[in-house]
Amino acid sequence: MKYAPTKSAHVAILCAALSSLAAGAPTSHIHARQGCEAPYQRIDGAYEGHYMVEVAEGYTLDDHFKYLGGAFAVEVFWMKGVDIYVFDSGIAHLDEFKTADGVDRVVDELDMSDELSFEDLDGHGTKVATAIGGATRGIARAATLRSVKITQNNRPHSAVFVRALQVIIRRHIERAKSSDFRGSVCNFSLDLHTSAMAVKTIKWANAAGITMIAAAGNHGYYTRHFPSSDPLVISVGAMQEDYKPWKARGTIYSSNYGKNEVAVWAPGAGLQLFTNTGAPTIGSAGTSFATGYVSGIYALFYGNERLN
């Protein structure tokens, strides 16, 4: 039986990918990322553990932070067998999620919300999906985006999350029998109360070969945020343009952190995404969207290598 990677797995690969996918900066122009330990904050407020980026002459750190662009300007045919389950508020069916020949890549997979509709009334899930696999502003531009709506009273609900994940595990197992299947990724850009059943279900998903990526949270503390704190889930922090953990100016919001807690850091400030109405954003920020980028990166690996 194959197990999906955990918090410590593939971190070096992801760091290399995140450093190499610069807008207008081909992979061949990037020399190395010197180490891959995520930054964490000491009691005195200083940050430690920052990895460094060595870039070729003429490129800047900002080039590498804003890594979307030419590297993903086309759909990649081998991404079509990858399923990305977006546990969130729903995904709007926008042109951003259509293939070049007009096929909608958003699948209304499972609605367990109290709204009794797949419609994304909040907009959060659509912005996350844009980061994951938007045709112009995302990573996995040919993957299938499967909407798993689990909101209750406009919030993700722990018991609903457990039931939904159990359903998705069974569907993943059936999908894996198909010859064109390449892998499953679950994106959890949410915060839940932990429970013994939630932990057990995550173990079941991992054993089935599903990779789970979760937001570290936006509270600015040493994270015990669930489900990102589960050892079988890849926890993603948000970084800003100076490669320090993201902190929103004039607010209490900032990325959670923690050595051995946050496995991967990804861009999480000033992001260009799409709302549920199709309107573009120019300043979206937070670990939810950083998580979307990392889910897209994992989907790229699974599409190419069939790592699941």
pLDDT for res 22:
32
pLDDT for res 107:
97
Q: Which residues of the chain have pLDDT under 70?
A: 1-79, 222-223, 260, 305-308
Tell me the percentage of the chain whose pLDDT exceeds 70.
72
Q: How far apart are the first and last CA of the chain?
A: 10
pLDDT for res 306:
59
Q: How many residues does the chain have?
A: 308
Sign of the four-CA dihedral 205, 158, 271, 265: negative
pLDDT for res 261:
76
Beta strand pairing call for 30-34 and 52-55: antiparallel
Dist CA 235 CA 237 (whole Å)? 7
pLDDT for res 46:
44
Q: pTM for this one?
A: 0.81
pLDDT for res 79:
62
3-state DSSP assignment of residue 260: coil
pLDDT for res 3:
58
Q: Please give the helix or strand (H or E) that residue 110 lies within, else none.
A: strand 106-111
Q: How far is CA 299 from its chain centroid?
A: 10
